[in-house]
Amino acid sequence: MRLVYMGTPQFAVPPLRALADAGHEIAGVVTRTDKPAGRGQMLAAPSVKLAAQEMGFSVLQPRRVREVEFVEQLRALAPDIIIVAAYGQILQKDILTLPKFGCLNIHASLLPLYRGAAPINWAIIRGEQEAGITIMQMDEGMDTGEILMQERISIEPVDTAGTLTVKLSILGARLITTALQLLASGRLVPTAQDNSKASQAPLLKKEHGLIDWTLSAAEIHNRVRGLFPWPGAYSFLDGKMIKILTTDVTAGQGEAGLLYQRGRDILEVGTGCGLLRILSVQPEGKKSMTIAEFMHGHRGLAGKKFEQLKRK
């Protein structure tokens, strides 16, 4: 099948490779524009662009998909179908109806749950035990189209947004290749979503990472997992930001935000319910380290308290 592929982050790379390996004709790859990254704010290409160039596919990077010039470029490619995976912009009707088979989306949730830009993160943050991939026929809504295929996997207790993204990307690659085989033979049966069961997964911002220590230890632990590697969960200690990288929930109770030191290598924090044991951190301006390494360089932590905001 002749297709155009639209995607941006690393999540979208394995499905692109799988479609190419399955023998589909990739007429073009559409991705977001290069963005400044890192301390030097040098322009960095999206992961999909790098992969597409490596595989020899032509790449389009419109600033907005509504641009008339881009729609005409897309029309000239004459795709039978458009495949979308974490592209990052909503497609309008003239694109959705352009190909013979319309546009299919590889969405990283069990729709109608977690519609939106960050389904993997929010599933972990909210303590879900399962996640999955939905292959969806796109319409003009936000992840509201008919479901064509769906498969679920368990969210393991040690999963972070990073590890779960890898698992779901691989699953998405397998499902989309199967979906196109079934679609070509007319064996895919669309199912309408139950809108009464819908939930949202809004775009993440850095401020989502600020820890509210009045939440329960379990809730904070899930936020740490769901926000890793970006934007990261963080708090402030002695006026400096500290990222909380890995944690565990332990028995006991303490004052919200107050630090409790157990020997030389155990540091726990009081929460709204239970204690949160910190396993690794990244202090402001430094590399990540174990909590034992952090404690070695920071004496007298017991009795200090994490602050909600940086001191001015």
Domain CATH code at residue 234: 3.10.25.10
At residue 264, the pLDDT reads: 86
pLDDT single digits (tens) 22-78: 999 999 999 999 998 877 788 999 999 999 999 999 999 999 999 999 999 999 999
| Structure tokens given for 77 | 């490619």
pLDDT at position 308 over 90: no
pLDDT at position 310 over 70: no
Q: Is residue 77 part of a domain?
A: yes
Among 150, 31, 142, residue whose Cα is nearest residue 92: 142
pLDDT single digits (tens) 228-252: 999 999 999 999 999 999 999 999 9
Q: Is residue 309 part of a domain?
A: no
Do 126 and 227 fall within a single domain?
A: no
- What pTM was estimated for this model as a whole? 0.95
Q: In this predicted model, which residue has the larger pLDDT, 41 or 286? A: 286
Average pLDDT over residues 217-221: 98
Long-range own/partner contacts, residues 248-254 (CB < 8 A, 24 or more apart)? 248/221, 248/276, 248/277, 248/279, 249/217, 249/218, 249/221, 249/274, 249/275, 249/276, 249/277, 250/217, 250/274, 250/275, 250/276, 250/277, 251/275
At residue 157, the pLDDT reads: 96
Do 102 and 163 fall within a single domain?
A: yes
At residue 22, the pLDDT reads: 98
Do 168 and 210 fall within a single domain?
A: no
pLDDT at position 312 over 60: no
At residue 199, the pLDDT reads: 98
Do 258 and 157 fall within a single domain?
A: no
